[in-house]
Chain A
Amino acid sequence: MTPNLSRRRLLTATGLLALAGPALFARRAAAATTLTAAEWGGDVVEAMKQIAAAQQNEAMNWVLFQGGAGSILPKIKAAWPTVDYDYVAGWEGSLNSMIAEDWLETISVADIPNLADIPAALVLKNAKGEWKAVPRAVGGMYFGYRTDTAPLKVTSIDDLYSPKLKGAICWPGPTQSMMLQIVALAIHGGGDESNMEPGWKLMKDLAKSGNIGRIAVTDVDFTNSFTSGETSVGFFAEPSWAAVAKNFPITRLTKQAGMSTFLYQSAFAIMKNRPNKAATLDFVNFAISPAMNTLYGKVAGEAPLNAKATTPDALKHLSYTSDELAKYVHVPDYKVVLTSQDAWAKRWESDIAPLL
């Protein structure tokens, strides 16, 4: 094998690839009814893929969020008014921003008949009261711990400060869970989302105590921290708890007096300026039908919102009677929460982060 020949071949191949590159990978024309959906990865997209398969109607192009649902926002804003997605999944955190930007179609029970089975109060609306998002399931954000490794069986917020928990707590960062963990602290201190001072004070004390082992910046952080044994007590959202629960015993403090639980919904947001509105409405309607909503709950690990769907046993910790709801779940004024996010995040960075 003479060196010159193979070198030449290598260079030629590279040159050809370089020339052919863009042609090889140019976007292919989409099929007539292929819908493009933006979803969370992991169990959620798995559930949605099964639902799409059950419908047998359309081909779906799944675009997965990079990290949080907020990662899609700059891409939509940059391309606007051209829109690449037929529907975008979201939760209160991301959906309200999209509603404020007026990117979403108004929907109604006439468009989506199965909406009738979902409590109207849950539907996210814009300032004019128009319905903008289709709720599909409910998840929770709450305190909990790994039953096998937690140094202390936590039963109250005060327990978080115990010296036994040195380095054992995984606390969510300022972009996770809308800082509701600090609202929980505030409630313990006698305040709420509109009066956060008691919460900030308690947060500072917690930061100084040395009990926080890791601040989770993404949901994967939290799961890894727990599965590797780095920390064992935390506050997080349902998908992370579910991921840990697959392999380790956890105690979910969803019905623990004094430790507030927060519920969030995941919903479909149907984008404006798209040609496939009818097909999208059709798919979304199918997805929230009782049978499909039950399937979603089972696979994605969120409690289905369709009144006729059945909540899987694994999610019993999220089903509350109205008494329990009043006692354990705090429903904040989301208008306050959402408009305060920026200020709270900045306050976190200036007051709390240096103390950790």
Chain B
Amino acid sequence: MLLALLPALLIMAAAFLLPMAGLAVESFRLFVPGRVGAAADAPFTLANYGDLLNRPFVGLFGETLRISILATLAGMLIAYPLAWHIVRRWSRRVRTLAIGLMVMLLLLSMLVRTYAIELTFGSVSIFRPTLKLLGISPNSGWYIECLVGAGLLHYIVPVATLTLLGTVQNVDPRLVEAAQSLGAPAWRAHLTVTLPLSRAGLVGAFLIGLTFSISAFVIPMVLGKGRVLFLSNSIFNRFSELADYPSGAAISIVMLVVSLLLVVAVSRLAAPRRRPA
């Protein structure tokens, strides 16, 4: 069985672990401004990491995490009922339409998608009169954060819905019917039956949404107006004409380690409790 793991492991080693190791090495090298990255014989140093031990960087990381987690949670709240309706409730035709819509949304170019959202909900959008009516300034900090979250949501919902299709399929619908026939209202039946049985799938979908959001670049760049920044925007700065690759590498490694720890922690939630046979 474990042999099936081999191809994936090989790919990970060759296309990810080795390059990341190379990146880690670069992150420990000294950067001399005006050069392109670290010179081949640059001395090793901890300065690139030391640079990150300040409030603004932690704040940046925190902002990235906060908006990502909120957007992913919202995505789950929408995707799960959607997945369930697709699998269990809707007719074959509607099901095909719904899945087709999700697939089309997936294939929508990220750049076009964000500009479309900007034109729909941004500060010069068709939405503007409504916003004015509600007294919301589309230029305010928190509205921009919401917009970035909305942008993330627009990608997370299709991905999560499609991922959860398989999970929902594995839940025996007769169990819910049984609960209802025993007197439970529908919402309670789902909460106590369907949801716990889908736990592992939900956590998996949540992780996809979360990791995508954390590493998002185009969405915060366009919708965040350069004012709501994610970590990848900060990394991008260093990979541009600045050519400070060591610093960019350092941020990336920190991001990788912390996010992995987060992923491991969240994954534990998926561990099923031992059920008496």
Contacts and interface: CB of A to CB of B under 8 A. Distances in A.
Do A and B touch each other in the complex, judged by CB within 8 A?
yes
Given A97-B241, A339-B33, A346-B51, A215 B225 contact: yes
A100 B34 CA distance: 7
B233 A217 contact: yes
Contacts of B141: 356
B225 A175 contact: no
A68 B241 contact: yes
Interface in B93-131: 115, 118-119, 122-124
Given A97-B34, A167-B123, A353-B56, 17 more contacts: A70-B243, A71-B240, A98-B36, A173-B226, A175-B240, A178-B241, A213-B123, A214-B227, A216-B226, A217-B226, A224-B115, A228-B119, A230-B124, A345-B238, A349-B56, A349-B234, A350-B55
B221 interface: yes
A213 B229 contact: no
27 contacts: A67-B240, A68-B240, A71-B240, A73-B37, A74-B245, A98-B36, A100-B34, A101-B35, A173-B237, A174-B237, A175-B242, A213-B139, A214-B225, A214-B227, A215-B227, A217-B233, A218-B221, A221-B226, A230-B123, A338-B33, A342-B244, A345-B237, A345-B238, A346-B247, A349-B60, A350-B54, A350-B55
Interface string A56-72: 00000000000111110
B59 interface: yes
A298 B201 CA distance: 59
Contacts of A342: 31, 33, 242, 244, 247
A93 interface: yes
B167 to A, nearest CB: 26
B25 to A, nearest CB: 14
B222 interface: yes
A345 B242 contact: yes
B115 A166 contact: no
Nearest to B137: A167
Interface residues of A, number: 49
B239 interface: yes
A73 B229 contact: no
B231 to A, nearest CB: 11
A340 interface: yes
Contacts of B56: 349-351, 353-354
B226 A69 contact: no
A343 interface: yes
Contacts of A353: 56, 60, 227, 229
Contacts of A93: 241
Tell which of A68, A97, A166 has the most Cβ of chain B within 10 Å.
A97
Given A68-B241, A70-B242, A354-B59, A213 B225 contact: yes
B44 interface: no
B62 to A, nearest CB: 11
Interface centre among B122, B239, B240 (most CB of A within 10 A): B240
Interface string A229-263: 11000000000000000000000000000000000
B90 interface: no
B57 interface: yes
Given A214-B227, A215-B226, A349-B237, A166 B139 contact: yes
A77 interface: yes
Interface string A1-36: 000000000000000000000000000000000000
Contacts of A68: 240-241
A349 B33 CA distance: 17
A312 B243 CA distance: 35
Residue of B36, B37, B241 most packed against chain A (CB within 10 A): B241
A133 to B, nearest CB: 15
Contacts of A166: 139
A73 B222 contact: no
Interface string A66-109: 01111101101100000000000000011011101100000000
Contacts of A114: none
A338 B36 CA distance: 12
A152 B227 CA distance: 23
A101 B34 CA distance: 9
B237 A175 contact: yes
Given A342-B244, A354-B59, A74 B36 contact: yes
A212 interface: yes
Contacts of B60: 349, 353
A175 B226 contact: no
Contacts of B123: 167, 213, 230
Contacts of A67: 240
Contacts of A156: none
Contacts of A209: none
Nearest to B228: A356
A141 B128 CA distance: 32
B240 A70 contact: yes
Contacts of B247: 342, 346
B209 to A, nearest CB: 24
A341 interface: yes
B13 to A, nearest CB: 20
Contact of A341 (B59, B234, B242): B242
Contacts of A345: 237-238, 242, 244
Nearest to A73: B36
A338 to B, nearest CB: 5
Interface in B188-237: 221-222, 225-227, 229, 233-234, 236-237
Interface string A196-216: 000000000000001011111
Interface in B50-84: 51, 54-57, 59-60
A74 B239 contact: yes
A98 B243 CA distance: 11
